[in-house]
Amino acid sequence: MFPLSSLIRCHRHSHSRHYLLLHRLLKPFSSIATHPQAPPSSPLGDVPLSFPTYLICSSNTSVGKTLVSAGLAASFLLSSDFHPNKFLYLKPVQTGFPSDSDSRFVFSKLSSLASRRKIACSLLASDEVLQASRSAAAVTLPAGLAEDCKFGMFDLGSYTECRVLGEEGSAASELICRTMFAWKEAVSPHLAAERENGVVEDSTVLEVLQRCLLEAGLAKQNMNMFSVVETAGGVASPGPSGTLQCDLYRPLRLPAILVGDGRLGGISGTISAYESLKVRGYDVVAVVIEDHGLVNEVPLSSYFRKRVPVLVLPSIPQDPSNDLMEWFDDACVVFDSLFKIMLSAYSERIRRLHDMPKKAGNVIWWPFTQHKLVPEGGVTVIDSRCGENFAVFKVRNNEVITQQFDACASWWTQGPDATLQTELARDMGYAAARFGHVMFPENVYEPALECAELLLEGVGKGWASRTYFSDNGSTAIEIALKMAFRKFSSDDGSLSNFLSDDSTQRRAQLMVLALNGSYHGDTLGAMEAQAPSAYTGFLQQPWYTGRGLFLDPPTVFLCNNIWNISLPEGLLSHSLNSDEITFSSRSEVFELSRDKSNLAEIYSSHISNALTQNPESVGIIGALILEPVIQGAGGMLMVDPLFQRVLVNECRNRKIPIIFDEVFTGFWRLGIESAAELLYCVPDIACFAKLMTGGIVPLAATLATSAVFDSFLEDSKLKALLHGHSYSAHAMGCTAAAKSIKWFKDPQTNGNITSEGKLLKELWDEKLVSQISSHPAVQRVVALGTLCALELRAEGSNAGYGSMYASSLLKKLREDGIYTRPLGNVIYFMCGPCTSPEICRQHESDVAERSQLAKYPRTYGPDSTALIWPSGNEVGILSLGLLLYLASVFFRRGIGDLVFQEFQSERFDLGI
Ligand SMILES: Cc1ncc(COP(=O)(O)O)c(C=O)c1O
């Protein structure tokens, strides 16, 4: 049945390919494939999930990773199964090359094992080396070929192939072994790369790796496929750029097999490696160790509490002349078990990912969501987050994990890049391990104290003296209201009246001065302080009365490349010079010199009138509450900073305590640590949450002046602020906040901090923003700090929070790798304070080309006038094009084809 002896035929193509690739050899790879500072947030493409891919990593070097890879390949390819299989072995980083080559080892061992064992299917094995440093290439290339270039990586293109015949006429299984990048010195990759002038950026390693997986997946045809990616050294050994490998490969979050250490000292090393992987969000599916007679598997199994299986391989012969064939035969049972564990973990993962949308639809009640409008296919399954990107499970032709830039900054909370995320995870783990949770009143512990001090030195600098911790933005607001009302009552004497006369009447009359379009949270008290809106109506909150005097604010926006002030109805009757309400740059809007303008006086008397005309019977204004500069949930409305400053001054003159709600605007959201600085005035009380912890865990703080604090100081406990939450000042939150506050403002860790340290660099491309503002489909644009928002021109039910105007368009954007969620017809993009502006700027040439929005009509007809006055469907179509275009700039996508396709296929869909 089987051929008498398996026939082995091997071909080496390496030298012939050298000549074919001569033109590329002369061009150092690094100069074409890497950038000195590749944007960390650039999303990767799809990573296939239609076959299992595992990361093979180890607690240290030389513990047998490559033997495990080869053993798994043997289990998969050399079973008696007649079905041809395909095994992809990838070694992204190889040092000690060419004398050491793990891909060659797997290739040659599998070829030998295949000819030794009776195989049903033939085996076609190949080994390829893609890129090598000059020193490594010089060893394998003909003399002189690698001499010309002094740095960079060479396209080596060495290729070896071998066929082992199985049963006659049988189909062939395939083993593809591939080394991606190789260096000569047998030292840590970062050192070899540096010494051999061949540094490869992390983004290049990931891109090549992702491409190898994707291509192999596409070419797998009907074969079962399995793949492993073998790391170099231990889990925390540096990669070629110096990034630890456990961080380098994290965006792919491949499930891991940890090859542990069976030697003396190996228990500790194995557990440390496991914890390094877990704290970075990896799933470790199994641990494998070599038997050194020390029974390390017993304590390891006990540590893993049987959740992670520990498998033991027979002792590996030390004699270098041993070809290990017998060892592989002996270890076969262990590899077969390991292989089964890996297959079943993979199937389980895929099953869970497939099932989640349906299950979620059955058991979860999402916030701000009309469930009737969410089909099962509309649910986004987020497998993980790495820095600014979601890793999302998708079923296209096959299952993939695809990266989506989180342009909502996960509901305005997120700040960390991938590095800070790892640091925060570790520090929070430390805090949880050190403190768990401890109750707060009359207690102190380091994270709470450090965080309080950092807040007062930072966002509270110059005015605040106390930090009150709670756990979310809404509660921070409720606390602020309690503080403000006490301060007001104690200043105006009503507190002492109340104490002498227990007049509850007076208490009920206190209300806030606030702005229409404001939002301060969803708890009942916080809602009372905000203006009537879609969030507060009878449908949502029948108890809502709106205890406030709500003024219409003048808003600011960019339209046709001019910054305009739109005055509310009550102010329209005033005649104003155009230079008072139009500005050629955003910075002019913020200028303090505007205080002397006619408009400042108009604002002042308007506010004064409103305050004096407010009848006391309606209520006494006991606090001013406002969101400095930007009203987020109200539709990303920019309020004229001059108006807010005048408002603050008017209230201060009347001893009305001032609350700044910086839950959204705080911590660099608007390009400055505290948005109060943009107003050039300070509050008495301010609320912070969201970005304060980097957005990784909930925590809120209400900061107050000493005068506010003093209004609660009395002998009686009953006059203290009798308010608190179970998780007040929890240690993990305070630790995360302390870390993030320092990280965001330090130019060493945040490349976006300008030299003066007060502002973020301009993150959005100003030219492009102004071009968008001139587009007829766009009503207004606001770009400030990490926020870029635009309102689509819409009328009737297409406008406002309930509008579904942008929904199909956003679906498209999500398919294109950008996760957005609109506020009705307002679409916004939000990045973190550390997100690199290069993401936009690297594509400045794309921008220049695409900024000719006039090109668009070519896609739907020669009559370009359609662009100038679009209506109906055309607005939708143009909006889609515009957003894709905008997104392309932010996220480095070649948008030309995309826009063209979208226009072709979606033009009639989008009359939303
Ligand atoms: C300005 C403002 N205040 C308060 C809140 C409420 O914060 P949380 O959702 O943490 O309760 C929000 C939430 O978006 C907000 O934007």
Ligand 1 pocket test: pick from 520, 528, 626, 801 the residue with the most ligand atoms within 8 Å of its Cβ.
520
Predicted local confidence at residue 503, as pLDDT? 53
Q: What percent of the chain has pLDDT over 90?
A: 70
Please tell me the distance between residue 388's alpha carbon and the centre of ligand 1 in angstroms. 21
Sign of the alpha-carbon dihedral angle for 422, 424, 429, 430: positive
Residue nearest to atom 3 of ligand 1 (CA): 520
Q: Tell whether ligand 1 has an atom less than 6 A from the beta carbon of residue 519.
A: yes
Q: Tell whether ligand 1 has an atom less than 6 A from the beta carbon of residue 693.
A: no
How many whole angstroms separate alpha carbon 700 and alpha carbon 734? Answer: 9
Q: Tell whether ligand 1 has an atom less than 6 A from the beta carbon of residue 622.
A: no
Residue nearest to atom 16 of ligand 1 (CA): 664
Ligand 1 pocket test: pick from 481, 519, 522 the residue with the most ligand atoms within 8 Å of its Cβ.
519
Across the range 529-539, mean pLDDT stands at 91
Please tell me the distance between residue 667's alpha carbon and the centre of ligand 1 in angstroms. 14
Query: Residue 26 — left, alpha, or beta (φ > 0 → left; ψ -120 to 50 → alpha)?
Result: alpha
Please tell me the distance between residue 670's alpha carbon and the centre of ligand 1 in angstroms. 15
Ligand 1 pocket test: pick from 411, 414, 469, 474 the residue with the most ligand atoms within 8 Å of its Cβ.
474
Q: Tell whether ligand 1 has an atom less than 6 A from the beta carbon of residue 689.
A: yes
Predicted local confidence at residue 883, as pLDDT? 54
CB 771 within 8 A of CB 764: no
The secondary structure element, H or E, covering residue 744 is helix 731-745
Predicted local confidence at residue 38, as pLDDT? 37
Tokens of 869: 């006055």
What atom in ligand 1 is closest to the CA of residue 662? 1
Q: Tell whether ligand 1 has an atom less than 6 A from the beta carbon of residue 661.
A: yes
506 — pLDDT class (breaks 50, 70, 90): low
At 228, give phi and psi (nearest 5°). Answer: -130, 145
Residue 817 clears pLDDT 60, i.e. is over it: yes
- Taking only the tens place, the pLDDT of each residue in 776-802 is 888 999 999 999 998 988 887 777 767
Q: Tell whether ligand 1 has an atom less than 6 A from the beta carbon of residue 771.
A: no
Q: Tell whether ligand 1 has an atom less than 6 A from the beta carbon of residue 477.
A: yes
pLDDT, averaged across the chain = 86
Predicted local confidence at residue 222, as pLDDT? 81
In terms of Cα–Cα distance, which of 745, 784, 832 is closest to 629? 784
CB 407 within 8 A of CB 367: no
What atom in ligand 1 is closest to the CA of residue 477? 4
In terms of Cα–Cα distance, which of 53, 46, 45 is closest to 349? 53
Predicted local confidence at residue 505, as pLDDT? 53
**Which residues pair with residue 700 across a beta bridge?**
470
What atom in ligand 1 is closest to the CA of residue 632? 16
Residue 45 clears pLDDT 70, i.e. is over it: yes
Predicted local confidence at residue 866, as pLDDT? 26
How many whole angstroms separate alpha carbon 786 and alpha carbon 160? Answer: 50
How many whole angstroms separate alpha carbon 166 and alpha carbon 3? Answer: 7
How many whole angstroms separate alpha carbon 466 and alpha carbon 705? Answer: 6
The reply to whether domains 4-259 and 420-500+509-745 share a CATH topology is no
Residue nearest to atom 13 of ligand 1 (CA): 521
Q: Tell whether ligand 1 has an atom less than 6 A from the beta carbon of residue 627.
A: yes
Residue nearest to atom 8 of ligand 1 (CA): 473
Q: Which amino acid is at 383?
A: D
User: What CATH number was assigned to the domain covering residues 766-903?
Assistant: 3.90.1150
Residue 510 clears pLDDT 70, i.e. is over it: yes
Predicted local confidence at residue 837, as pLDDT? 87
Q: Tell whether ligand 1 has an atom less than 6 A from the beta carbon of residue 472.
A: yes
Rounded alpha-carbon distances, angstroms, from residue 314 to 297, 336, 418: 13, 14, 39
Which of 160-164, 492-496, 841-845 has the least mean pLDDT?
841-845
Please tell me the distance between residue 607's alpha carbon and the centre of ligand 1 in angstroms. 26
Residue 902 clears pLDDT 50, i.e. is over it: no
Across the range 26-50, mean pLDDT stands at 51
Predicted local confidence at residue 339, as pLDDT? 97
What atom in ligand 1 is closest to the CA of residue 472? 10
81 — pLDDT class (breaks 50, 70, 90): confident
771 — pLDDT class (breaks 50, 70, 90): confident
Higher pLDDT, 447 or 901: 447
Residue 827 clears pLDDT 50, i.e. is over it: yes
How many whole angstroms separate alpha carbon 216 and alpha carbon 908? Answer: 37
822 — pLDDT class (breaks 50, 70, 90): confident
**Which residues pair with residue 702 across a beta bridge?**
468, 687
Residue 582 clears pLDDT 90, i.e. is over it: yes
Helices and strands counted in the chain (H then E): 34, 30
Residue nearest to atom 9 of ligand 1 (CA): 473
Q: Tell whether ligand 1 has an atom less than 6 A from the beta carbon of residue 413.
A: no
In terms of Cα–Cα distance, which of 724, 728, 628, 725 is closest to 682? 628
- Secondary structure of residue 788 in the 3-state scheme: strand
Ligand 1 pocket test: pick from 637, 690, 699, 801 the residue with the most ligand atoms within 8 Å of its Cβ.
690
Q: Tell whether ligand 1 has an atom less than 6 A from the beta carbon of residue 261.
A: no
Please give the full DSSP string across 539-589, using - where no structure is assigned: TT-TT----EEEEPPPEEEEETTEEEEEPPGGGTTS---HHHHEESSHHHH
Q: Tell whether ligand 1 has an atom less than 6 A from the beta carbon of residue 473.
A: yes
Class of domain 420-500+509-745: alpha beta
Q: What percent of the chain has pLDDT over 70?
A: 85
Q: Tell whether ligand 1 has an atom less than 6 A from the beta carbon of residue 517.
A: no
Please give the full DSSP string across 185-217, using - where no structure is assigned: SSS-HHHHHHHTT----HHHHHHHHHHHHHHHH
Please tell me the distance between residue 393's alpha carbon and the centre of ligand 1 in angstroms. 29
- Taking only the tens place, the pLDDT of each residue in 130-155 is 999 999 999 988 777 766 666 689 89
pTM of the model: 0.89
What atom in ligand 1 is closest to the CA of residue 518? 1
908 — pLDDT class (breaks 50, 70, 90): very low
Across the range 32-48, mean pLDDT stands at 53
Contacts (Cβ under 8 Å, ≥6 apart) of 485: 510, 622, 623
DSSP structural state of residue 690: G
Higher pLDDT, 836 or 684: 684
Predicted local confidence at residue 32, as pLDDT? 29
Higher pLDDT, 184 or 13: 184
Residue-range domain boundaries for the chain: 4-259, 420-500+509-745, 766-903
Across the range 813-827, mean pLDDT stands at 85
Q: Tell whether ligand 1 has an atom less than 6 A from the beta carbon of residue 633.
A: yes
Q: Which amino acid is at 656?
A: I
Predicted local confidence at residue 265, as pLDDT? 95
How many whole angstroms separate alpha carbon 255 and alpha carbon 252? Answer: 9
- Taking only the tens place, the pLDDT of each residue in 849-887 is 333 332 333 222 222 222 222 333 334 444 444 554 555
Residue 377 clears pLDDT 70, i.e. is over it: yes
Residue 483 clears pLDDT 70, i.e. is over it: yes
Ligand 1 pocket test: pick from 472, 664, 692, 821 the residue with the most ligand atoms within 8 Å of its Cβ.
664
What atom in ligand 1 is closest to the CA of residue 523? 11
79 — pLDDT class (breaks 50, 70, 90): confident
Predicted local confidence at residue 127, as pLDDT? 98
- Reply yes or no on domain 4-259 having CATH 3.40.50.300: yes
- Secondary structure of residue 701 in the 3-state scheme: strand
What atom in ligand 1 is closest to the CA of residue 411? 14
Higher pLDDT, 687 or 616: 687
Ligand 1 pocket test: pick from 533, 535, 663 the residue with the most ligand atoms within 8 Å of its Cβ.
663
Which of 220-224, 239-243, 602-606 has the least mean pLDDT?
220-224
What atom in ligand 1 is closest to the CA of residue 474? 11
What atom in ligand 1 is closest to the CA of residue 665? 1
Please tell me the distance between residue 873's alpha carbon and the centre of ligand 1 in angstroms. 35
How many whole angstroms separate alpha carbon 719 and alpha carbon 545? Answer: 27
How many whole angstroms separate alpha carbon 835 and alpha carbon 610? Answer: 43
Please tell me the distance between residue 24's alpha carbon and the centre of ligand 1 in angstroms. 54
